[in-house]
Amino acid sequence: MPRSMLAAAVAIGLLAAPLAARAANTTVMLDVHHAGCVLCGPIVKSTLAHVKGVSAVRVSQPDGMSDVTATVTYNTAATSPAALIRAVTDRGYPAELTKPGHG
């Protein structure tokens, strides 16, 4: 590889490194409404799992007739809580971040 190409590749790598270092996994909890049937929890889980950057989803539903709480682990460089909320809301399940003391 010519030196100029090698130098360019190294420079790009050094510039991209800080961006990768800032990307981190984090977890949020969402209250998902209108999800009061036994099929709603799995639909919410599948919807969130298909959002780019999501690495884990756990959905809890105390009984088959209540709303669900979704615990979502995602890469902050790839998605955001707003995108997660939008994904399930677009499927007919309005959602919001769980308020402290709930869920």
Q: Extract the tokens encoding 8.
A: 């360019």
Delineate the domains of the chain, giving CATH numbers in brackets.
Answer: 23-97 (3.30.70.100)
Alpha-carbon span 30 to 68, nearest angstrom: 8
Q: Extract the tokens encoding 1.
A: 């590889």
Alpha-carbon span 73 to 53, nearest angstrom: 9
73-97 pLDDT, tens digit per residue, is 999 999 999 999 999 999 999 999 9
Please name which of 79, 87, 71 lies closest in space to residue 27, comparing C-alpha atoms.
71
46-75 pLDDT, tens digit per residue, is 999 999 999 999 999 877 677 899 999 999
